[in-house]
Amino acid sequence: MTTTRGIMSNIEARSPKGRFILGLFLVILILVSLIVLFPFAYSFTAGLKTSVAITKSGVNLWPDQPLWDNYVQAWNKFKMVTMFGNTFWVAGGGVVFQLLVSTLAAFFLSRLKPAGFKIIMALVFVTMTVPRIAYLVPLYITLADVPLFHFSLINSFWGLWLPYAVNPFMILVLKSAFDNIPQDIYDAAQVDGASKFRLFYQFTIPLSTGIMLVLGLLSFISLWGDFLLPLLVLREPSLQTISVRLYNMTRNYPLNLFMAGSFIAMVPPLLAAVFLQRYMKGGLTF
């Protein structure tokens, strides 16, 4: 039995040409990995330098005398605990609302097949082509004075959660996932008297946890680093997320403390991606 090593079989890999190709791929992957990891390494080591050393020309990745106290000062002066709490609330709430709205919309489009299905799908695709920056100002005006009710969502997490709740990309991916669930499962459940809502929460959701976890993680990472909308909505410093608060504090603190704070801000989504990667692989395969 011939086994494969991804791009070629073991027999091909043992040949001179195969060894050369594998070596070439290995070199390319190492170079790509170094390019991807360099910003993280530079951000970490920049937080160990003086502000003057950061602005020096040349690639001096590791300082002669690491200033580990920079990270302690950044943690305390930037009030990282408060900023982490705000960012977790914003990103976590956004993920919950996105998954709730997207799963319901995807199930509606996948299994209920409403009237005007093709028009609805076309509208979902069209919304993906509109750049977010194009509707940012109308969105802010709407949040500042909600139509009909005339109240403001500025300086409120709801002003972020509600816009975050609608994600056309997530709706389309979940619809595709729901389409792949065998119809026989639904037919058997309906013979037993299962309602549409029961089909949704008792069958569709458990069978799609893998892809939902992947989408939730990608959404969390995206919302964690979101900047423009939180900058407009959260004007109160005590409510601001970590990306907005660090930006507003750049003029008041040295560059090395800002770099240390920026690296600390990257840690939670990085850890989430590392510890949940095995679930991501299964979800992406699905």
Q: Is the pLDDT of residue 163 over 80?
A: yes
The whole-number pLDDT of residue 1 equals: 45
Mean pLDDT of 56-73: 83
The whole-number pLDDT of residue 61 equals: 80
What's the whole-number average pLDDT of the chain?
A: 86
Contacts of 48 (CB under 8 A, 6+ apart): 62, 63, 66, 67, 68, 70, 256, 260
- Within a 10 A sphere around the Cβ of 247, how many other Cβ atoms? 15
Q: Is the pLDDT of residue 219 over 80?
A: yes
Q: Which amino acid is at 188?
A: A
- Within a 10 A sphere around the Cβ of 62, how many other Cβ atoms? 10
Confidence of residue 84 (pLDDT cuts 50, 70, 90): very high
Domain boundaries, the chain: 10-72, 76-285
Query: Using the 8-state DSSP alphabet, how is residue 27 labeled?
Result: H
**CA 144, 129, 147 angle in degrees (round to 5)?**
20
Q: Is the pLDDT of residue 172 over 50?
A: yes
**CA 164, 165, 169 angle in degrees (round to 5)?**
85
Query: For the segment 273-284, what is each residue's pLDDT rounded down to a tens digit?
Result: 777 777 666 656
CA distance 257 to 74: 5
Confidence of residue 52 (pLDDT cuts 50, 70, 90): confident
Mean pLDDT of 155-182: 92
Give the three-state DSSP class for 4. strand
Q: Is the pLDDT of residue 153 over 50?
A: yes
**Of all residues in the chain, what percent carry a pLDDT higher than 70?**
92
Q: Does domain 76-285 have CATH number 1.10.3720.10?
A: yes
Query: For the segment 222-254, what is each residue's pLDDT rounded down to a tens digit?
Result: 999 899 999 999 999 889 999 998 888 877 788
More confident residue, 215 or 57: 215
Q: Is the pLDDT of residue 152 over 70?
A: yes
Mean pLDDT of 102-118: 88
